[in-house]
Structure 1
């Protein structure tokens, strides 16, 4: 189930407008006219895990996506 697009900016609270962003995107997005934040809604899940390498405390984040970023 897809969520409706954002109505207000999560950054500054201004009402957003639906238009093509200036960054070359080809899909209509919710864009804030005040702070120019583009609100992307990605309904696809990203699966991740954080394994620990031995007792050294070093962590490695592994992620698997269905689509390229």
Structure 2
């Protein structure tokens, strides 16, 4: 799930939540509770996890995040 993501205003932000604590905070902040407790997301669905993060970040401008 590490990577650069586009926000609603077209600006990009970097996500690098590798530790369980930071992953949990990311999931909670983005409203992705179903991914909490699985740092990096389910091993068999990395693309799906990245898409969920991208979709969530695209709902607000970069300054919001």
**TM-score grouping bracket, smaller chain normalisation:** under 0.3
More helix by share: 2
Structure with the greater relative contact order (CA < 8 A, sep ≥ 6): 1 or 2?
2
TM (norm. structure 1) is 0.24
TM (norm. structure 2) is 0.25
More strand by share: 1
